[in-house]
Amino acid sequence: MTSPADAPPPPSGAIVGPDGLARPAWASVDPMLRDYYDTEWGVPVRTEHALFERISLEAFQSGLSWAIILRKRPGFRTAFADFDPDRIAAFDENDVARLLQDEQIVRNRLKVRATITNAKATVALREQGGLVDFVWGFQPATTPQPRTQADVPTSSEASVSLAKALKKVGFVFVGPTTMFALMEAIGMIDTHLLDSHRRGSSGVWG
């Protein structure tokens, strides 16, 4: 019987781990990223609180690796009132100064202010049905079918439309690439490789 270690690599370039499960290269080495991939990435997010956190962290990730943000997530949660939109919407200049001194987070003034701006926009959006329905309203009719990592796009018509719509209601740091990453992370699209053990696990796309 062939062991996972002796089996030929999947044609997609995914890596088969000691547990016999195929994952993309980015989720195959770092235990933290592997756990995130196995338990969280691509799982549907349908609460305002959790979705606001994801939007905030995706904005902070812009220009950085996701591993940096994930390692700092506990610190982000502490610094940003557990990503409670109502509490963050009330942050003032003293809070901005405090956050820019906090080594637990990414200390970027524009991104810190963007989080406060987006909290205010999230609260205001409740009058239009709320953040969750607004974002999920841009779910496309189809999802990518990537055989290799090179087949995974970095933006789409839906992510462009979502970015434009969010900007119109007051959000910032929500470009098409960032929103595509959000759509992947919250299960709106399924960009797991076709031979990944997580393909179809969201329950959204079968």
Catalytic residues: 36, 58, 66
Tokens representing 205? Answer: 């796309």
CA distances (Å), origin 37, targets 24, 90, 149, 157, 182: 9, 33, 15, 25, 14
Distance CA 107, CA 29 (A): 27
Instruction: Specify whether the CB–CB gap between 195 and 14 falls below 8 A.
Output: yes
Instruction: With CA atoms as reference, report the closest residue to 53 among 83, 89, 13, 87.
Output: 83
> DSSP strand E in the chain: where?
15-16, 22-23
What HEC string does 107-147 produce? CCHHHHHHHHHHHHHHHHHHHHCCHHHHHHCCCCCCCCCCC
Give bridge partners of residue 15 from the DSSP assignment: 23
CA distance 196 to 122: 34
If we measure between CA atoms, which residue out of 111, 58, 122, 57 comes closest to residue 89? 122
